[in-house]
Structure 1
């Protein structure tokens, strides 16, 4: 009887440990509310402005370093186009996937297009226009951080 209780107790302890370890990992994967603070930034292509969201603390720091002038090289913004509007990015009909955003100094021509051109040809994005939905407007320049909408 004593062995059965010890085995059951050990099994329960292992199960509780596994549950405790799994919950934070699941929350991070699902992007659960409150798991990662969001920051919003604006860039321009010389004519229009575009707002995007970042949730990765390292990328948020990098964006702030660009704005403050610490990083003067990687001021262009690139990421994966998501063909749905975001409430913080009006009037555009699309947004950038927050976890895809990177900053660059040079990029290949195939991912270059203006903000308005992408908006006007959104149905073509992912095909001949911006293969894999990767967008890197060459004239983009990160301008400022904005308050959360």
Structure 2
């Protein structure tokens, strides 16, 4: 009978251990859309797919929490079918919530629209947007 060299056996054992103990990736939830507003009173729709973010948004709307009430994410400079009024949307994979953020990512909904051609450089570097006055107003059906 042939023997497997010790290094090969150790590598196979480590691989098997990693395979068996690595957690499965988090499954994205069915998309849920929420509407938020800002100091201008304009409305903007975001689509969430992360189960924890969806729950956090629902908790904000129901009053269960007031922690991290503002929206943050990366702009995609093209309209989304669920948010046709605006020439941009937030990439669902990048959306989160915050309490406090740096000023360089703050802008109102219409200001981003009016200056979208400047986004990604000195204005909203890396397309990161964190409207300080953002506030969820409802979950869309």
**Pairwise TM-score range, normalised by the shorter structure:** 0.7 to 0.9
Are residues 1:125 and 2:119 paired? yes
Runs of 4+ in structure 1 over 3 Å off: none
Equivalent residue for 1:43, pick from 25, 36, 47: 36
Equivalent residue for 2:80, pick from 81, 86, 94: 86
Output aligned runs, 1:60-139, within 5 Å. 60-139=54-133
SS in 2 for 1:62: helix
- Segments of structure 1 that go 5 or more residues without pairing to the other structure are 1-24, 29-34
More helix, by proportion: 1
Deviation (angstroms), 1:72: 0.8
The Cα RMSD (Å) is 1.6
Q: Distance in 2 between matches of 1:52 and 1:100?
A: 11
Deviation (angstroms), 1:73: 2.5
- Segments of structure 2 that go 5 or more residues without pairing to the other structure are 1-23
- TM-score scaled by length of structure 2: 0.77
Deviation (angstroms), 1:99: 1.2
SS in 1 for 2:111: helix
Deviation (angstroms), 1:90: 2.5
Q: Distance in 1 between matches of 2:123 and 2:106?
A: 9
Q: Equivalent residue for 1:142?
A: 136
